[in-house]
Amino acid sequence: MSDLNEKDRLSDYLDGEMSASERTEFEAELKTSESLRLELDRMRRASGQLRNHFQSKAAAAVDDEGCAIAVEQIVRMSTQELRRADIKPTARRSPFMIFALALLVLGLGLILASPFLNNEPSPDELIADAADRINHQVSEFSFSLGPQLEPMLGLIRSRVGYDVEVKARLRIGPGGLAHVLIAADGLEAVQLQAGFDGQNHWFANDPAGPIQRAPRLEDLPENPLAAGLLGVALSLRAALDEARNNPAALELVGRVEDEFGGESWKVHLGGSRARMNGDFWFDDEGQLLRFGIGPVMGVATPNPDFGLEDFQLDRILPGVPIEDVEP
């Protein structure tokens, strides 16, 4: 049995996570194996020491007076926040208000005859689903950076010598996988790429040199273009996390029409308590269609044709030498 499996069993035994039959079998083994008993004793003592450590840290964190002050402060802030959001309990609304609201909703429903009014989505559920998809599936977005893209465009144009059609693309996947690319379409010589390959490698390329690779992003040499590119991936993940953890900062703007006549549900992330602002657009199935975070506007590619293996460096930049950067 491998060492890992052995430790798994020890941990399961200590934590009471074994079935009755597994436990009986393990205890029989314990009686005959001194090394197993010794290993169990070591793990038990290490576990006990860790528990003591957590206990001492917890006890030192706050005294009774500090706790009472914190409780008072939290309750005050919570009620203030609720009043600010103007979320009043239904039970305290007057019957007249409820009747008027009901009439208003009914009237709007009859006038607009919209099929969507009865199916208005919950913004936090939309966001939670989008975050889950981003974290568990592969997704692709084409994006624009507005004025911030200009330095990159300038670099590309200077290399090519004329104005070119430029594509900017973000691929994102589970485990932090990211690959961001800005390129003159079809011209590999001017591709700028950066990403995280899921194997503890952050990478960025300079079109004129090798791919630089490092276990931590901060270890890559100063590379504003790569930092700007990776900022797109980091911002999208951070905005979705913020939106998921801060439902009070979400607002369903409503059904909106885009410039091509298509319709989508728009959710806004913002407000005084939000650390980030952004907008997300979803279709009726809850698929994330577009996002807008700061200067970045991203549009999802429907049914992208690539997989997890496409995040590997040898697939992204085949044949290009790799330079490992020492921390």
Partner 1 sequence: MSSIEEEDDWDLLAAASAESGAGFAELVRRHYRPALAFSRQVLGDLHKAEDVTQKAFVNIFVARERFERKARFRTLLFRVVLNLSINEVSRKNRSLSFSDLGDEEQSVEGLAPDQNSVMPDASVEARELGEMIEGGLMKLSPKHRAALYLREYQGMAYNEIAETLEATLAEVKIWIHRGRSAMQQILKPYLDRGERIS
Binding site for partner 1 (CB under 8 A): 4, 7-8, 11-12, 15-17, 42-43, 45-47, 49-51, 53-58, 61-62, 67, 70-79, 81-83, 85, 87-89, 92, 122, 124, 175-176, 178, 196, 200, 202, 215-218, 231, 234, 238, 241-242, 244-248, 275
Residue 100 Cβ, how far from partner 1 at the closest point, in Å? 22
3-state DSSP assignment of residue 188: helix
What is the rounded CA–CA span in Å between residue 194 and residue 77?
42
Please tell me the distance from the alpha carbon of residue 180 to that of residue 217, in angstroms, as a whole number.
Answer: 14
Least Å from the CB of residue 39 to partner 1:
9
Q: Could you tell me the sign of the dihedral formed by the alpha carbons of 314, 317, 320, 323, in that order?
A: negative
C-beta closer to partner 1: residue 242 or 279:
242
- CA distances to 99, 152, 183, 235, 301 from 167, rounded to whole Å, are 54, 11, 6, 19, 13
Q: Please give the structure tokens belonging to residue 34.
A: 């001194």
Least Cβ distance, residue 198 to partner 1 (angstroms): 9
Determine the Cα–Cα distance for residues 31 and 26; give it in Å rounded to an integer: 9
Answer positive or negative: Cα dihedral of 142, 171, 314, 222: positive
Q: Which is nearer to partner 1, 59 or 208 (CB)?
A: 59
When the beta carbons of 74 and 108 are compared against partner 1, the nearer one is 74
Report the residue number, 55 or 137, with the smaller CB distance to partner 1. Answer: 55
Complex with partner 1: residue 156 or 170, whichever CB lies closer: 170
At 254 the three-state DSSP class reads strand
Q: Are strands 288-293 and 322-324 parallel, antiparallel or unpaired?
A: unpaired
Minimum CB–partner distance for residue 119 and partner 1 (Å): 18
| Complex with partner 1: residue 70 or 103, whichever CB lies closer | 70
Residue 184 CB, nearest approach to partner 1 (Å):
28
The C-alpha atoms of residue 280 and residue 291 are separated, in whole angstroms, by 4
CA gap 25, 111 in Å, rounded: 71
Strand pairing partners for 205? 211
Residue among 54 and 99 whose Cβ is closer to partner 1: 54
3-state secondary structure of 43: helix
Q: How far is the CB of 248 from partner 1 (least distance, A)?
A: 4
202 bridge partner residues: 196, 214
Our CB check for partner 1 shows the closer of 16 and 302 to be 16
Nearest distance from C-beta of residue 81 to partner 1, angstroms:
5
CB of 218 to partner 1, least distance (A): 4
Q: Are 173 and 139 in contact (CB under 8 A)?
A: yes
Burial of 3 (0-12, 13-18, 19+ CB in 10 A): exposed
